[in-house]
Structures are given as C-alpha cells and as structure tokens.
Amino acid sequence: MRPKIYLYGDSITEESFGDGGWGASLSHHFSRTVDVVLRGYSGYNTRWALKVAERTFPPVESGGVPPLAVTVFFGANDACLPDRYSAFQHVPLHEYKQNLHSIISFFKKRWPEIVILLITPPPIDEDARLRHPYIENPSGLPERTNEAAGAYAQACISVAKECGCPVVDLWIKMQECPDWKQAYLSDGLHLTQAGNRIVFEEVVKKLKEQGTSVENLPVDLPLIANIDPQDPLKAFQDY
C-alpha cells in the first residue's frame, strides 16, 4: 500500500488540484510512490480546522501505513480584518498561534513520525481584493491587507520554529518577484498557475530536506522497463 501525503488547508489548498494547481503537480511528481490526498476547505480558518481535524483525519487502521507528511496551509482567512465584511472568518493572532500549536500536536499524537510542513499565508494585493469581493462590499475597504497577512505569516514561522517543523515562507517568497501581484495572484489572494508553481517547488524542496523525495521512495509495482517481454509474469512474483 502506498503511503500518503495529506494537504490540509483552506481554498488555496482546495483549489490545488485544478489545472496547474500545486496539489495536482505534487500528485504527478510523486506518481507511483505516494498518494497525495486533498483535504482543503474553502473559507476555513485555524479555529474551524482544529474543530474538524478529528473527523477529517481518522486513525490508520491496524496494519495500515501511516502518512509520510502533511502540509498545514492556513492563515489567509484568520487574517481577515475584524471590522470588515469577512470578520466572521477572523481569528486573533494569539489564537491563530495557539491553534497551529494544537493542530501540530494533534498530528504528532496521531502519527508521531509524520513530517508536518507549515505554509504561511500568501501576500495580499489589496487593490485586487477590492476589484474581486466575495460579497457586496459597501465600505469600499479591502477585507484583507498585506500588512495583516505578513503578521500572520510571521506568527506561522514562529510556531514552526517553536515546534521544530519545516515551513514555507510564501509571504516573503512571492514578494521577491517585483511583479508578484500580477504574476502570482489571480484575485489578490488566490493563486495563478505561476503562483501554484512557487508553492509546488517550495513544498518539494522542504519535503526533500526532511527525507521525503521520489529518489528514496519505492515505486508501486514493477516498472514497464523491468518487465521481461519473454516472461512478463516473472516481474510480479514478489507481489
């Protein structure tokens, strides 16, 4: 049975199996070695993610293979401003950190050897958020700001350091590109194909640093190159 890599997050994770998405790219990258399993929930924050974690990740059955890794990609919704139209998604910064700690503890208790990879929220293009509101926005103010997203990104990095977990600093990485707003964001928050590529590359790099890479994972069932045309069934004797 193949091991799994879980992707746990909000809409940026839920959409990651779309055309050019970072989750779909991961699944292709790890084909024949790992099953990449999507657990993305649009609009969710860490408060809600913690609430549903027990139901979302059932224990491995006896004799099953524990997952290799899980990405935890929350914060974009937690960082919604408390006095704007998405206030119901807002989670105070101190609680966001506590929730991340609790989510990490949940995974470590369930699967002690699992690699837990945190991903910070991306930067925010505030002008684009005004052009692409989710609901009517009579205030004329964006529901998110890049400053707030940066504060939650720093909190995510702090939790990763405190817990000894690897982390992708997406907030900084994307802003290294001068044209990041147009290149990486489709609506000021969600990712373009180029933005998805950044996440994919950073996740692959971080997982490899933790020892999870296609180079050191066994392939599921014989490759066609290893099947003898004169005696094809011989390759399946050990399966």
Q: Is 27 tagged catalytic? A: no
Measuring CA to CA, which residue among 143, 150, 31, 165 is closest to residue 85? 143
- Token representation of residue 138: 């009579």
Amino acid sitting at position 222: P
Phi (first) and psi of residue 215, to 5 degrees: -70, -25
What do you get for the CA distance between the two ends of the chain, in Å?
A: 11
Is 190 annotated as catalytic? yes
Task: Compute CA distances 104 → 41, 78, 113, 152, 225, whole Å.
Answer: 18, 17, 12, 16, 41
Residue 34 tokens read as 């790992």
Task: Please say whether the beta carbons of 29 and 204 come within 8 A.
Answer: yes
Catalytic residue among 35, 101, 132, 187: 187
Q: Is 179 a catalytic residue?
A: no
3-state secondary structure (DSSP) of residue 38 = strand
Phi, psi (deg, nearest 5) at residue 71 = -95, 135
Catalytic residue of the set 11, 102, 186, 213: 11
Tokens coding 42: 């649009």
Catalytic residue ranges: 11, 187, 190
